[in-house]
Structure 1
């Protein structure tokens, strides 16, 4: 299993931790497991000899505690994880568990490496970067130093190689040649990464306009709210929710073109690799279905077309719940650095005019591809081949 859907889809019959242990979603500091001990899935867990958990550093320590308690309960053994062998994998240099409105120490305290269970694990270190080109020793060494915070200067910045810095239009640099030559199937092999959602949306709009306009379609969602009476009201939804973007939620108005790249926002079928974060290339657009081809792990596109339906999604909007009936996708020529975690690209554009603000973001952004030659980076105008890097040394030290 894995904490993220993308990582889970890399394994045969891989599933998310939420799916295996029926963890509440979104998972919060007081969340629990809803796994019923009588169902078939519980028996599969009882029968397992080893449990593999990938992207574990993305999970909060509460998740480790909940799974420990559930395994003790399922096995009837009051010892760590019910006596199961637990193998956790991941990289603490990457983006850790998100703590809403939390500061650096809140993030460090929420990490699994701050769990009372952490000292029970024996640590092993992998030594080869499997994503980078074999001859890119300098690149892989530079990434590790960035991830460890070893090369940060007195201004909190690190150096960026001259040839990676872009002065012109980042969207043109990354996608211009492919679109001009109509090599649309290769669009999924590239991406622009940014730290903030508004910049991601801006670049997606820009790249969408670069694509041929034939077959463009606009999809309007149906919205409803649930008040204290428990009834869904499909009329009178505040205009605020229609006009503004909600992170992790499809737009009320979704405009797509054929050959545009999209990303799923929900797990539709982990077994088929259709999970939160999966990228696809649109092949056809109809009022009630989107036809697309899935990006496979080797970088190619699936031969078969996948039909994506509209579904109803829920968002907790404070005093009431917002329900939106829409396709669970967003344009994904550009994605946030957080969403890129676990993904690989042949070429990456990194927008850093608005710099990174959290642990591991720069490390993740730069490590999504094979070498410095595959990176195009747009920096702040007042930076001369430098950009901010944020590393929480306490997190790295605690994890080791």
Structure 2
């Protein structure tokens, strides 16, 4: 998901540094140092806010001048999918892995201008249900009220959706039934000092009601409601060495006035406990007409999360809720490929009329594979 400019920004100073050190006019990429890139172009490409298909593809590493000096080494075995010694189970896993690759490469359904309608296998669907959302929640979090205190219950479970508003809806629903006393944290919002010198700034935009109502990607809400034991997600890098990175899933251990104690439940630091303070956050969303700064805990409830946030995680139970179809390259592939077993995945698809369906859109920009 890294923009090609990030790699190019590293390439140029390394060339300068090693050219100066040797005195030679070497133009070797990265100053002659070997760099290993890890990734999968079937997954979500660099995020370009409001970008067109061409802009997103052009932001990828395969569109950089660096790419012509790269040698592609392909991995052929899906190590996320676990297999048993049973020959039938091995065959099912192999077929599932191939189906995932076909979805990632746009070989299912026939891609037309980047979009295709594909049919999800019957055994992966929740269908013929009067309340499919409740059934999906029960699949991912079975007997929640009986198991919420289990040490590893939330470690490898999540409900995924393409957009934040659907994620918020599911999180609110689960938080309301989660046992325990709610604690509410309200943010302190203000205009950035750099904006105050702007003579054309409309004073009505600076009122607390307006600032408190602003919601932006990566920014915690003004009103944050939590309970002890609830899974949450960290929205900022705080201490990468200790595993406190943007996207890390945590479980609330205790709720204080000035700090929240959490336990890491994803990544390589599972079980570590830390205290999260309030920090001042400034959104980077260019669509906002004013520059806001919000002082709040950088946390969001994460019974459910967006597909983009789930990238890179391995989960034993995944519920995919497609109230609206995916909207960019690789989202469907990423969502379906988070599971470690085929029987750990269930999908709910709603059509434009809100009825259950067995087909959904898959978006693949095939031109990103052209130079591979």
State the secondary structure of the residue aligned to 2:370.
Answer: helix
User: How far apart in 2 are the matches of 1:174 and 1:217?
Assistant: 25
- Alpha-carbon deviation of 1:397? 2.2
1:201 matched to 2:144? The reply is no
1:137 is aligned to 94
User: How far apart in 1 are the matches of 2:43 and 2:157?
Assistant: 20
User: How far apart in 1 are the matches of 2:256 and 2:10?
Assistant: 42
Instruction: Write out aligned runs for 1:323-342 (5 A).
Output: 323-342=293-312
State the secondary structure of the residue aligned to 1:137.
Answer: helix
Instruction: Write out aligned runs for 1:1-400 (5 A).
Output: 58-76=1-19, 77-134=26-83, 135=90, 136-153=93-110, 156-166=116-126, 167=129, 168=132, 169=134, 170-185=136-151, 186-214=153-181, 216-226=182-192, 227-229=195-197, 236-297=206-267, 301-302=270-271, 304-316=272-284, 318=288, 320-381=290-351, 384-398=357-371, 400=372
TM-score, normalised via structure 2 length: 0.85
- Alpha-carbon deviation of 1:108? 1.1
- Alpha-carbon deviation of 1:236? 4.5
Q: Is the 8 A contact 1:355 1:388 kept in 2?
A: yes
TM-score, normalised via structure 1 length: 0.79
Structure number, greater radius of gyration: 2
Segment drifting more, 277-286 vs 134-143: 134-143
| 1:233-257 Cα shifts (integer Å, max 9, x gaps) | 9x95452331232110011110001
- Alpha-carbon deviation of 1:179? 2.9
Q: Is the 8 A contact 1:351 1:379 kept in 2?
A: yes
- Alpha-carbon deviation of 1:305? 2.4
Structure 2 unmatched runs, 5+ = 20-25, 84-89
State the secondary structure of the residue aligned to 1:224.
Answer: strand
Segment drifting more, 195-204 vs 68-77: 68-77
Structure 1 unmatched runs, 5+ = 1-57
2:86 is aligned to none
Q: Is the 8 A contact 1:131 1:369 kept in 2?
A: yes
1:26 is aligned to none
- Alpha-carbon deviation of 1:306? 1.2
State the secondary structure of the residue aligned to 2:327.
Answer: coil
| 1:257-306 Cα shifts (integer Å, max 9, x gaps) | 111101111111111011001000111111111111101447x941x421
State the secondary structure of the residue aligned to 2:35.
Answer: strand
State the secondary structure of the residue aligned to 1:387.
Answer: strand
Q: CA RMSD in A?
A: 2.2
User: How far apart in 1 are the matches of 2:72 and 2:289?
Assistant: 45
Segment drifting more, 332-341 vs 309-318: 309-318
Q: Is the 8 A contact 2:155 2:266 kept in 1?
A: no
State the secondary structure of the residue aligned to 1:152.
Answer: coil
User: How far apart in 1 are the matches of 2:222 and 2:30?
Assistant: 43
Question: Which one scores higher on RCO, CA 8 angstroms, separation ≥ 6?
Answer: 2
Segment drifting more, 180-189 vs 101-110: 180-189
Q: Is the 8 A contact 1:260 1:281 kept in 2?
A: yes
